[in-house]
Amino acid sequence: MADKIDHSLIKTDLYDAVNGEWLKTATIPGDHSTTGGFTDLSDGIEKTLMADFKDLLAGKLKPENDEMNEFKQFYELVSDFDKRDKDGSAPLKPYLDRIEALNSYQDLSDQLADWILTGLPTPFSLDIDSDMKDSTKYALFASGPRLFLPDKTYYEKDNQAAKQLLPVLEKMMAQLFKLAGYKEAETQSIIEKATAFDKLIAPHVKSAEESADYSKMYNPRSLDQIADSTDKLDLRTAITSLLHGTPEKIITTEPDYFDALGDLLTDDHFQMMKSWLLFKTVMGLSSYLTDEQRQTSTIYGRAMSGRKEARSQEKSAYDLATGTFDQVVGDYYGRKYFGETAKQDVHDMVVKMINVYKKRLANNTWLGKATREKAILKLDKLGIQVGYPDKIDPLYSKFKVTPASNGGSVLSNLMTFTRIRNEDDFSRWNQPVDRTRWEMSASTVNAYFHPFYNIIVFPAAILQAPFYSLKQSSSENFGGIGAVIAHEISHAFDNNGSLFDENGSLNNWWTEADNQHFHELAENMVKEFDGLPYAGQKVNGKLTVSENIADAGGLSCALEAAKGEPDVDLNAFFLNWAKIWRQKATPEREKLLLSIDVHAPAKLRANVQVQNLDDFFSTFDIQPGDKMYMAPENRVKIW
């Protein structure tokens, strides 16, 4: 059935004109916080794969490779809730006992490398990624830990969201500790100390807005400097053990945190830190135990997002199994439901969008010749990944399931896989960067640009209607997947992507004049969105600027590509653009995203971006006085 569009509303509100009728009847499933564009596609894939994997478990569908066979065994294990309930908290006990056995920082320090490989929490975070200054090899990154609340801004005095969320978190944790065998008085003390330590951490880590600025990420420190951050933990030995080598530099994304680490890890704070470790472990691992623990562990997340109920046993087992073997499942999905023909078709579309972008750069009026040439070189070297990888990541061949008959539990297997994954990550240090490696499953409804690798990735899952379909007109496809493709290309030239050169290295390739002009244009985009009212709050223009620049560039380039087709229909182009952003979300979800999400709300993405394009006004005869009208001098044009 075709969507009912209220054409009389287009001059007032494009998003409502296209999606108003749908919004009236759309209902958010109880275990969701949203419904609409992206969510509907995810739900469709989930339904398809759950049916397939039901046949897999029943023996009607044969595993096509060894990795799929291990996935099948793991799926059987996570689906056996009778066994999980029988095991109770026993699988968690060894990890809690290990934390309980700590009597000093020295006890933790003596086993720190193994502790990190095991996947237990630490009051700092280590990670491997491409060296921001030399994208040919992997480097070690260091940052602060994740907080209990969604963002450091929640820890500010009189934050109303925190006043609502913290009691919910504490009540949930009291239940989880009780289910893990702790007495009430003991639990209360742990929770008080853990939350106190978390509050001490909060001022020294970055907020979502601060983290969104990649120019502040690269803060190289020597191993000595990192090791000297605290005298309570031997970071030098831990790091050299993990890397099997000695790094000359460690990229410190949150330098303020390491400046404060010595003041956080004091003898007076030891019991607080130990409680924080227990809290994090119980919070992180309870969902892999009994069904009661699984459901209880969702209470806090559901309060944050407004989901009314936990996922069913069947769906939670699907989530856990497919999430653990995500690339294996992606390979199956991509080959069965997408295939090589569609892969090539979309790849051609990406190349077409890159060529449109090149043409625009060549004709750009505000960039100097030298900067233009470097920008075109960056496009020439842009890596393209479409559909699904050519082969499954070798990491998954190491995942061997220990079945229940051999004493295996869901948690013991997951912790084994975690160790394998961590060892694999740390083994990459100082090795050549693999730009062909996928970081997202082909069955994920999303797309991304990675500035460190200068690659764009379009998993098979997003390449379906309304984003893309052979049944849709070229203009509809360009208003959907074309705009998404060009959005990801635009990230190479947003306020963050523009910091990195054609190889993905942090390197200023702009002339000073061009750079200044670009930042003035970017500031216009900040102002266009900053303070826009939404869900009883206001949009943060600085937090969302990179995504808004990418949306603007993406939509503008997709429009040019659509106009180049013989069957161009700009009406269909703009209407499908508005359709792909349709979304209904819980009020809690909307408020949470306004504080932490780098994307503007879906409705504003649909409505504001079209107002920057002259063709939108001529297509629908929008005149001064119409609500969707924007004066030409206020239209933000960057790419």
Q: Which residue has the higher pLDDT, 463 or 312?
A: 312
For residue 2, pLDDT over 80 is answered with no
- Kind and range of the H or E element at 383? strand 383-387
Which pairing describes strands 383-387 and 455-459: parallel, antiparallel, or unpaired?
Answer: parallel
Q: What is residue 345's predicted lDDT score, i.e. its pLDDT?
A: 81
The token pair that represents 141 in the structure block:
């990154």
Task: Tell me which residue of 352, 288, 305, 330 sits closest to 485, measured CA to CA.
Answer: 352
- In sequence order, what are the beta bridge partners of 384? 456
CA–CA separation, 603 vs 620, rounded Å? 19
Mean pLDDT over all residues of the chain?
Answer: 95
Q: Is the pLDDT of residue 284 over 80?
A: yes
CA distances from 522 to 299, 362, 635 (A): 40, 20, 12
| Structure confidence by residue, pLDDT tens digits, 131-179 | 999 999 999 999 999 999 999 999 999 899 999 999 999 999 999 999 9
Amino acid residing at 16 = D
| CA 478 – CA 467 distance, rounded (Å) | 8
The radius of gyration computed from the CA coordinates of the chain, to the nearest angstrom, equals 25
Helices 270-285/160-179 angle, 10° precision: 80
Confidence of residue 437 (pLDDT cuts 50, 70, 90): very high
Sequential DSSP letters for 306-356: T--SPPPHHHHHHHHHHHHTHHHHHHHHHHHHTHHHHHHHHHHHHHHHHHH
Residue 348's pLDDT band (boundaries 50, 70, 90)?
confident
CA distance 360 to 639: 8
- CB atoms near residue 533 (< 10 Å): 9
Please tell me the distance from the alpha carbon of residue 353 to that of residue 340, in angstroms, as a whole number. Answer: 20
Residue 1 has pLDDT above 50, yes or no: no
DSSP conformation letters of 101-162:
T--SHHHHHTTHHHHHHHT---SSEEEEEE-SS-TTBEEEEEEPPPPSSSSGGGGSTT-HHH
Tell me the β-bridge partners of 205: none
Instruction: Tell me which residues are annotated as active site.
Output: 488, 551
CA distances from 30 to 24, 43, 305, 338, 586 (A): 17, 13, 11, 30, 11
Lowest model confidence (mean pLDDT) among 61-70, 179-188, 492-501, 626-635: 492-501
d(CA 168, CA 301) in angstroms, rounded, equals 10
Type of residue at 472: Q
The percent helix, strand, coil of the chain (3-state, each to 5) is 60, 5, 35
d(CA 591, CA 601): 10
Distance CA 458, CA 350 (A): 9
Q: Tokens at residue 170, please?
A: 């504490």
CA dihedral 242, 243, 245, 246 (to 10 degrees): -90
* Pairing of the two strands 448-450 and 383-387: unpaired
Q: What is the mean pLDDT of residues 12-34?
A: 96
Mapping DSSP to helix (H, G, I), strand (E, B) and coil, where does residue 533 land? strand
Identify the weakest region by mean pLDDT among 223-232, 252-261, 341-350.
341-350
What tokens appear for 427 in the block?
């083994």
Q: What is the pLDDT of residues 584-600, one digit of tens each?
A: 999 999 999 999 999 99
Which residues face 142 on adjacent strands?
126, 252
Helix and strand element counts for the chain (H, E): 29, 11
552 — pLDDT class (breaks 50, 70, 90): very high
Contact 554, 547 (CB under 8 A): no
- Arithmetic mean of pLDDT, 189-218: 97
- Structure-model confidence comparison of residues 391 and 342, the more confident one: 391
Residue 226 has pLDDT above 70, yes or no: yes
Continuous segment of H or E residues that includes residue 636: none
Q: Are 271 and 193 in contact (CB under 8 A)?
A: yes
CA neighbor of 307 nearest in space, from 39, 567, 620: 39
Give the CA distances from residue 434 to residues 123, 383, 455, in Å, rounded to whole numbers and listed in that order: 30, 11, 11
